[in-house]
């Protein structure tokens, strides 16, 4: 993971990502005919990995037809597209940026995977050092943040504590940040990563 070829510093093996293509604007459409005879064109997308499944884009369904879909439990509804993660639970597949997560766990460290998720590729030695330097510059937490942990019971589940603590960080790091600016979003990501290791 520490060199551009994907060679792991831990095992000296190489592994390559599966290509996870972005969804291009589809030119395929399906036609939905409502009970009153009204027709609505629905854009059709296809997945780039896994089974050949059609995804019907219904974002404008309510605005154009005054209709909603009914899918209790979201059993057949995708909520987003992702160029970062691919999951096929029944087949036991989970990819980050095209790399199997199990291989990343075996061959890469936390900082390499964090770099991959944020930047789309595994870092070389120089990139990794620069990335770690940026993260380490954000390690410090506000002194009052330490008091936050005193409210939890001694036997509280660590994941519950981490979720609560992560959410509370936004109370310390909200000044002078504009979510519409990529640089500000990157600063937030660096601060969050810095608090996790």
pLDDT digits (tens, 9 = 90+) for 37-72: 999 999 998 877 878 788 899 999 999 999 999 999
pLDDT in tens, 2-21: 443 444 444 334 566 766 55
Q: Cβ(39)–Cβ(64) under 8 Å?
A: no
Which pTM value belongs to this model? 0.74
Instruction: Quickly tell me which residue has 């780039």 as its tokens.
Output: 48
Mean pLDDT of 109-113: 96
Distance CA 47, CA 52 (A): 6
Please report which confidence band the pLDDT of residue 197 belongs to, taking 50, 70 and 90 as the band edges. Answer: low
CB 120 within 8 A of CB 98: no
Please give the pLDDT value at position 4. 39
φ, ψ for residue 28 (rounded to 5)?
-90, 145
The answer to whether the Cα torsion of 25, 28, 29, 30 is positive or negative is negative
**Buried b / exposed e along 116-154 (16+ C-beta atoms within 10 A):** beeeeebbeeebbeebbeebeebeeeeeeeeebeeeeee
First to last CA, the chain: 18
């Amino acid at each position: 993971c520490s060199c551009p070829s994907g060679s792991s510093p831990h095992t000296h093996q190489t592994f390559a990502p599966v290509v996870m293509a972005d969804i291009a604007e589809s030119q395929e459409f399906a036609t939905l005919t409502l009970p009153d005879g009204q027709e609505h064109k629905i854009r059709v997308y296809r997945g780039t990995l896994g089974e050949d499944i059609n995804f019907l884009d219904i974002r404008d369904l309510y605005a154009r037809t005054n209709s909603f879909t009914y899918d209790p439990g979201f059993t057949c509804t995708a909520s987003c597209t992702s160029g970062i993660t691919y999951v096929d639970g029944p087949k036991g597949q989970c990819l980050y940026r095209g790399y199997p997560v199990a291989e990343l766990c075996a061959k890469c460290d936390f900082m390499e995977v964090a770099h991959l998720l944020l930047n789309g590729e595994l870092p070389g030695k120089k990139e990794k050092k620069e990335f770690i330097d940026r993260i380490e510059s954000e390690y410090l937490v506000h002194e009052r943040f330490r008091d936050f942990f005193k409210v939890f019971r001694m036997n509280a589940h660590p994941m519950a504590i981490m979720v609560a603590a992560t959410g509370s960080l936004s109370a310390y790091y909200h000044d002078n940040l504009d979510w519409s600016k990529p640089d500000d979003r990157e600063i937030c990501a660096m601060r969050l990563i810095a608090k996790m290791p």
